[in-house]
Structure 1
Amino acid sequence: MEKKQYVCSKCGCHEYECDQFQATGGNFAKIFDVQNKKFTTISCAQCGYTELYKQMGSSGWDTLDFLTGS
């Protein structure tokens, strides 16, 4: 598989940081404080410009997250 090279669309830097975060989505999730939306972030190491990519979750892990309060 070919590895893609990152280039920041704002400053042209080739270095980046990758991370993840979760957020609530919908009224049910907000009421029970369930973070059911998962995203991967790619941030430029120079200027901090960040792109978000939605992760496709599996229902098994979503259920486990709900039960554990994650």
Structure 2
Amino acid sequence: MINTKIYKSVYQLAEKLMDADSKGNMQAFDALYAELKAICITNENTDKDHPEQWETLADFTAEMDEALAGYEKALV
């Protein structure tokens, strides 16, 4: 089960990432992506580590190899 606080943070960041992308605001997108990535890294290998955060990060990752690595972490 995903921590509610983390779920809300990931969900809100995903919405903001989609908004920044739709507006072509790459500066905001990059900052939001970094924030989402930091959540994933902070929670990695802890009791707060959850596949949803990794899958969401992978969904917004442009590089295919990096995205696949995120999806693989979500599967584990």
> Would you say same fold, with TM above 0.5?
no
Question: Could you tell me the TM-score, scaled by structure 1's length?
Answer: 0.24
Structure ID, larger Rg: 1
Higher strand share: 1
Higher helix share: 2
Question: Could you tell me the TM-score, scaled by structure 2's length?
Answer: 0.22
